[in-house]
Amino acid sequence: MKLAWHFSKVNPRFKNREATQGEFFANDTELRAFVREAVQNSLDARRPGYAGPVSVRIFVSGSKSALSIDASKRYFKGGWDHFHAEGSGLRDAPVRADNCHFITYEDSGTTGLTGDVNQYHEVADVRNPFYYFFRAEGQSNKTESGRGRWGLGKFVFPRCSRIRSFFGVTVRYDDRQRLLVGQSILRSHNIDDKSFTPDGWFGEKPVKDEAAAPVDDQEFIEKFAEDFCLERRNDPGLSIVVPFCDERWTPAAVVDAVVQDYFYPILKEDLVVTVEDADTQSVLNAHTLVSVVGQCCDSIREMIQPMLNLTQWALQQNNEPGGVNPRINPTHARNSLIVLSSFAGKATRWNRKAIDDTLFEDMRTTLQNKGRIAVRIPTLVQYKDGLSKRTHFDAFIERAEASPQKRPMFIRDGIVISDVPTRLMRDVYAIVAIDDAPLTSFLGDAENPAHTEWSEETSHFKGKYVNGAATLRFIRNAVSDLCQMLAEAADDDDPDLLLDVFSVGTGHDQTGRQVEFSSMTSKSSSSTKEWMKILNAKPRKPKTFRLSSRQGGFRLGSRSDAVDPSQPIEVLVAYDRRGGNPLRKYSMTDFQLDKDPIRIEAKNALIEIRDPNQLMVYPVSDEFSVVVTGFDVNRDLFLQARNSQETNNAIKPTAKPQLQVAPA
């Protein structure tokens, strides 16, 4: 048997078409796209009747296990002329003398690629994973419950190879056949004035007008498995080998990719991943994942660790609401999923009035008292053919002051959909888990080939649903809006919590109160006057200064009725936050008063910067003013200003400090 690479000559009757599928995955690193697509395929290929988790093994050869020139020769025979041909599209092609670094991916608990290996075109109502994986492009016969739709994801495998090629070894669970297929996707290219199509196949030379047959020589496959470190023998499933992969790939980088996109099914015990090289092995399962993440790089660990904690808690909640009384206050239950009422057909509308008062109060008090809530949000999927399906998704929300997460993390069928645009949120972590079949199908139709975002403009989605775009917007923004509603409710419940106005602190151990300087006139509203009564009711010494707001800052000025206008004034500045004293939790990454972009304009006063957010003002005249600007106009400024305990005879600075000070 003569096994080699074969490319077809261009047929003058057909247009030349170049492979552009890689553009769909350009926003990801090649390694992350490889891991996400491969694992998604494995989860979709779970073997019927198999109850355990899908197991995945990823082996990175590195230099130690790379194939030598002699060992790899048999697997690239007939291919080098094409890999180096004019127009092949390969910019970093290896040469024959290079050792072959590779990455191997294997799954178990799956079906393998079943179906007629001789089928070469789509046949209606015939399920043939072998055909759709190796011979179809832009076609997929995955069911609506499947995670893929486009039939393009498999392109990530050749995309990861410097020769745009990959091998697949499959053992089929129905007939137990073990087959090997090699495929290459270049560009249309020329060799010795002969034009060739982009697609190449490894195996025996196909007979004219017949599809290239897979390799079924078991001795050859056994040697292939040995050379590329495969563990599969007769266990059903699929093994993928990407030759000449990026030599910089490491097991640690693979682990980072796995935990970013698949921590959720791992914690659910739907997936186990083993990552290896010649010397190390890491097993990622529900019991080891936390410790493995603890060894990841800082950026991955800081991003994923809070999600792990929230997911572990979420999986303990009652995800099946049958028998649960949604009226029971969840603070009295150990495992509680707050189930919102249906919206009477208004599935695309979401506001405070859409939520039952009792349920809303349950959410608010639980989040306030326990710091976390689990909420099931109903929605409606309506098809153009008149069929409607009630469905739902689950939101898990954790209160976390100064959380870096600004948008919820969406997880559809175990896959993290990383780039869903939503309204922003603050001071919380949130996971949105979508597992109900009607909704996973709906969102799968809206998903791009790379599984990173949802759009109502995809060909699978557009025209299929009634109010589809509105329903999609609702799902995107529901949790962000809910977090905003709960935050506003907390603000209303706590009169000391600062609103979106300029704020003034009353002392080191006291919280600030709302002050709207623009309304402090004789015509002030009754509510403002009430606030002033509260402020004035507190015993305090007369201040020698006035404080008012400015765009992006504040002004400190003299009072005409001050008894001793020369008293020093201490000003502490910070950005407001929802929990805790802003001044105690000030960070120098926010601003420093003696550095750009902060600007200080002083008239008849000397300035001293004692700390990055502490300003001392020493008036040198009965009439003085200090204007400080340059703060972030999108954040609320919190100030504490008071006459200092220093005496009038205290040592004052004799010169202006080295900072940007402009004359008034």
pLDDT for res 15 = 65
Under 8 Å between Cβ of 67 and 193: no
Pairing of strands 605-611, 637-643: unpaired
CA distances from 654 to 450, 607, 618, 620, 657 (A): 64, 10, 11, 11, 9
Compute the Cα dihedral for 288, 290, 295, 301 and give only its sign.
positive
Under 8 Å between Cβ of 229 and 61: yes
Task: Output Rg (C-alpha) for the chain, integer angstroms.
Answer: 32
| Burial state string for 391-401 with b = 16 or more CB within 10 A and e = fewer than 16 | bbbbbbbbbbe
pTM of this structure: 0.70
Q: Among all chains, which residue has been given the structure tokens 């996707």?
A: 185
Under 8 Å between Cβ of 58 and 105: yes
For residue 14, count other CB atoms closer than 10 A to its CB: 8
Q: Amino acid identity of 213?
A: A
For helices 30-44 and 251-267, what crossing angle results, to 10°?
Answer: 40
Distance CA 596, CA 602 (A): 16
The three-class DSSP label of residue 384 is coil
For residue 655, count other CB atoms closer than 10 A to its CB: 6
Mean pLDDT per block of 10 residues along the chain (664 residues) reads 88 66 49 92 92 96 95 95 91 92 97 90 83 75 45 74 95 95 92 91 84 92 97 94 96 96 95 97 96 92 93 78 38 63 58 84 91 93 90 95 91 91 91 94 88 86 90 92 83 43 44 44 50 51 80 86 85 82 83 90 90 91 90 85 63 39 37
Distance CA 200, CA 195 (A): 13
pLDDT for res 645 = 67
What percentage of the chain's residues is helix, strand, coil (to nearest 5)? 25, 25, 50
Distance CA 570, CA 416 (A): 49
pLDDT for res 632 = 87
* Contacts (Cβ under 8 Å, ≥6 apart) of 254: 31, 35, 58, 60, 103, 275
* Helix or strand run (H / E) with residue 302: helix 298-316
Nearest to 114 by CA among 97, 99, 101, 132: 132
pLDDT for res 309 = 94
Delimit the domains of the chain by residue range.
4-9+19-249, 317-493, 503-663
Nearest to 476 by CA among 389, 379, 398, 388: 379
pLDDT for res 642 = 87
Expressed in angstroms, the distance from the first to the final Cα of the chain is 91
The three-class DSSP label of residue 474 is helix
State the burial class of residue 628 (Cβ atoms within 10 Å of its Cβ: 0-12, 13-18, 19+). Answer: buried
Distance CA 385, CA 151 (A): 25
CA distances from 199 to 19, 187, 592 (A): 9, 8, 60
Angle at 565 between CA 559 and CA 568, to 5 degrees: 115
Distance CA 265, CA 272 (A): 9
For residue 252, count other CB atoms closer than 10 A to its CB: 17
Under 8 Å between Cβ of 139 and 122: yes
pLDDT for res 646 = 59
pLDDT for res 661 = 39
Distance CA 389, CA 410 (A): 21
